[in-house]
């Protein structure tokens, strides 16, 4: 799938981009995963927002938190693809694009993410290694993972 990728600071997002991002996040993390939590947690204002679009549709999204905000390392979070596009390699494409953007923003830095436990091998295939045991957050099993810097 040939998507157009963009990575923008909060202030550079259009109102439509912000709306679509929050809509996709709620659709998946709140409704699909049946998890009542405050998705717009305040960190978005300092985050970079990576979007993969097909015309005016947002198909893939994640956010990048700068180092020192949630962890010492930059943090990848809110990793999501639209349900209709799952299993087509889009998730892998999204993460690969995130690694490119992180290298531009924070060259050579290690990266951190909190993975849903069943996705450990997905992130492992992209160089992330577990750095914690499993723990439950918002009712879902997670494991912390770190990708060493260069």
Ligand X SMILES: CC(C)(COP(=O)(O)OP(=O)(O)OC[C@H]1O[C@@H](n2cnc3c(N)ncnc32)[C@H](O)[C@@H]1OP(=O)(O)O)[C@@H](O)C(=O)NCCC(=O)NCCS
- Chain residues binding ligand X by CB under 6 A are 28, 79-81, 85-92, 115-116, 118-119, 122
Shortest Cβ 32–ligand X spacing (Å) = 7
Nearer to ligand X, 54 or 150 (CB): 54
Q: What angle (nearest 5°) sits at the alpha carbon of residue 20, between those of residues 14 and 23?
A: 140
Nearer to ligand X, 12 or 135 (CB): 135
Shortest Cβ 67–ligand X spacing (Å) = 19
Shortest Cβ 75–ligand X spacing (Å) = 11
Nearer to ligand X, 64 or 80 (CB): 80
Asked if residues 94 and 81 have their Cβ atoms less than 8 Å apart, the reply is yes
C-alpha–C-alpha distance, residues 135 and 139, integer Å: 9
Largest CA distance in the chain: 41
Nearer to ligand X, 12 or 57 (CB): 57
> Residues near 65 by Cβ (< 8 Å), separated by ≥ 6?
43, 46, 47, 71, 74, 75, 77
Shortest Cβ 37–ligand X spacing (Å) = 13
């Amino acid at each position: 799938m040939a998507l157009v990728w963009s990575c923008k600071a909060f202030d550079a997002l259009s109102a439509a981009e912000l709306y679509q991002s929050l809509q996709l996040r709620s659709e998946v993390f709140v409704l699909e995963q049946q998890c009542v939590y405050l998705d717009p947690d305040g960190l978005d204002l300092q985050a970079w927002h990576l979007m993969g679009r097909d015309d005016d549709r947002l198909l893939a999204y994640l956010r990048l938190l700068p180092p020192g905000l949630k962890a010492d390392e930059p943090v990848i979070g809110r990793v999501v693809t639209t349900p209709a596009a799952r299993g087509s390699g889009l998730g892998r494409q999204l993460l690969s694009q995130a690694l490119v953007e992180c290298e531009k923003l924070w060259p050579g830095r290690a990266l951190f993410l909190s993975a849903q436990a069943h996705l450990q091998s997905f992130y492992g295939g992209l160089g992330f290694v577990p750095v914690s045991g499993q723990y439950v957050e918002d009712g879902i099993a997670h494991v912390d993972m770190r990708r060493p810097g260069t």
